[in-house]
Amino acid sequence: TPPVSKMLLRRLSLPSLRCRVGAPALGRAGPSSLRSLSSAVPLAPPPLAHAPPTELGPLALNRIRDNYGARLKKTRVGRGVGSGRGRKSGRGMKGMAARAGNKGFLLQSGGQTSDVKRIPKRGFYRLKREYLGVNLQDLQSWVLSGRLDRPAADAPITVKTLFDNRLITLRAGVSGIKLLGRGGGQLQVPLHVEAQQLSAPAIQAVEAAGGSVTAVYYSPLALRGLLKPEAFERKGRLRPRPALPPPKLMLKYMEAERRGYLADLKPGDVVRPHEHPPHVDLSARNPRSALPLGRRRSDWEAERSGGGSGGGGGGGGGGEFLRLLNAEEELKVLSDWTARARIYKLSDQAIVAERHEEALTELGSM
């Protein structure tokens, strides 16, 4: 047997390295002051506050593993022909199937009618109206900081005011702004606002501060003409007129609780006359929209054609007004209609004035 060195014998006689802890050397650092491995004293580990159990059982956390086959190893493609998925990466030659994205398999049925065309469709798509939210705290901060030029005393803050001051940007598909009530408890500035949608907290906060709010509808074309009228002028197009809400939104803008702008509208009134473009003649109104209560369409057409009798006291004839209970009620209706005819300059104002004089004469003879 080969001779065994003294160093090897000395190492074999030492205890295990896992339970030996070398103590720091005393005195100055130097080769003579270092404690050698042979003089290391085995120290016991410090006691633990809560010693772990020696037997954890089969449900220990260190024994948790996934079931076999639960996690499949991802196949790496394009890593050489030796991997089995190299070169063409298993996609074959060129073509639609070798490209990324939709392969269009649902649109193909091998020459037959595809399922997309064969299966019937059900339901419909409802276009959702989107509104840009504007909080009361933002409005107040813009006014106090001077970023928002406040209009005249009675002029409201509209969507055009915010757009011209570059405080909002309306992208395509947005139907206007919605006034929200965040920061309404700290509202101190009386604001007069016109928005397309109003929240209940915003209405209460603005009115409590001494302001007013109104919900106004704009169609997409009318909103574009309001915000960017120069675009219509540049193309030589006439600016659109303000449109009434669609039937599904009409009742919402006619409710006084929602502060709709159509709440106080009367028959024959012009909706927002200050927003009509200059080329619109407001005097050219349909006279049938200003007919008084109890007016017959046949009588109206007969009078316009000249077939009515103008006899005093409202004698019989196809062109007469529908007789009311007495001359006083008829005079009242005629007076209101005369006022509307004077405002809108109806073409048959002379007929109304003539019948008004007849009613006055009849009332004086009673």
Q: Which two tokens stand for residue 281?
A: 């003649």
Report helix angle 349-365 to 327-344, nearest 10. Answer: 160
Name the residue among 359, 364, 351 with its Cα closest to residue 313. 359
d(CA 348, CA 95): 76
The residues near 272 (Cβ < 8 Å, ≥ 6 apart) are 216, 242, 261
Residue 19 burial (CB count, 10 A): 11
Is-contact 85 78, C-beta < 8 A?
Answer: yes
Is-contact 177 195, C-beta < 8 A?
Answer: yes
Is-contact 268 289, C-beta < 8 A?
Answer: yes
Instruction: For residue 279, report the phi and psi dihedrals to the nearest 5 degrees.
Output: -80, -10
d(CA 321, CA 334): 10
State the pLDDT at residue 111: 86
Instruction: For residue 20, report the phi and psi dihedrals to the nearest 5 degrees.
Output: -100, 130
State the pLDDT at residue 314: 40
State the pLDDT at residue 315: 40
> What sign does the CA torsion over 281, 283, 287, 288 have?
positive
State the pLDDT at residue 90: 92
d(CA 178, CA 259): 13
The residues near 277 (Cβ < 8 Å, ≥ 6 apart) are 225, 238, 239, 240, 241
Collapsed DSSP state (helix, strand, coil) of residue 60: coil
Farthest CA pair distance, the chain: 158
State the pLDDT at residue 294: 47
Cα radius of gyration (the chain): 45
The residues near 98 (Cβ < 8 Å, ≥ 6 apart) are 88, 91, 92
Per-residue tens of pLDDT for the chain, all 366 residues: 455 566 666 666 655 554 444 444 444 545 544 455 555 556 666 666 666 666 667 777 888 888 988 998 899 999 999 999 999 999 999 988 899 888 888 788 888 898 888 999 999 887 788 999 999 999 999 998 889 877 776 789 999 999 999 998 888 888 999 999 998 888 988 889 999 999 999 999 999 999 999 999 999 999 999 999 999 888 888 888 888 898 888 889 988 899 999 888 877 778 888 888 887 777 655 444 444 444 455 565 565 565 544 444 444 333 333 333 345 555 565 565 555 444 444 445 566 666 667 767 766 665
Q: Tokens 């005093």 sit at which residue?
A: 312
pTM: 0.49
